[in-house]
Amino acid sequence: MVPDTETKVYDVTLKFTNEDGSTTEKTVKLADGFKIQGQYFDGVDFYECLDANDTVVTDTNPFTISESNKEVTLKKKAAVITVDGKEIEGNVVPEGSIYGILPDGGEKWTQCADLAYPGDVMKEDTRLVTIPSQKREGKWFVELGSTDEVWWVKNQIRNNSSLNVVLVDDLDLKTRKHKVCFPNIIAFIMVYLTEMVM
């Protein structure tokens, strides 16, 4: 390999602004023309990137490293967490239920692929929605009350075999739609029961 001697490399100062207003600096080497976009994640916290004019750096307004642009301010960003559309204080998932993490554009809990439990810490902006659930003997259970929810529960168990489920209502298998699905529902229930016993 031949080193690239034509691209300029600068010592770029990252100024981390803490919640108390104090700053910590870190120097990194970045190439001329390198673009910083959006947020910075240091493995623990998210930070907003600000340019020399204290303008927030975004995908559409990137910070480009150059001879005159070698200092970036990183301001710790508090995660905005909403539960059922209402913002909560802090970033710890509240007690009371299992919550689904809504995907972009999602509104219903059956659209959630990921779950959050009371006490979980959310590191980034997250929209949570309450999933019908109950706590028994210290363990959380998702409530299964309709055949429409069976498919969601089936997919969740594929991702999380330790998910607890409790049947809270009879499943209505009288409609044509559900009669066609009956063998799959029974197979799912049998597999789930078998996994619970093992």
Average pLDDT, the chain: 81
pLDDT band of 165, cuts 50, 70, 90: confident
Query: Percent of the chain beyond pLDDT 70?
Result: 82
d(CA 54, CA 79): 20
pLDDT by residue (tens digit) across 68-101?
888 888 888 878 899 999 999 888 999 999 999 9
pTM of the predicted model as reported, rounded to 2 decimal places: 0.62
pLDDT at 60: 86
pLDDT mean over 19-41: 86
pLDDT at 148: 67
Reply yes or no on whether the pLDDT at 192 is more than 60.
no
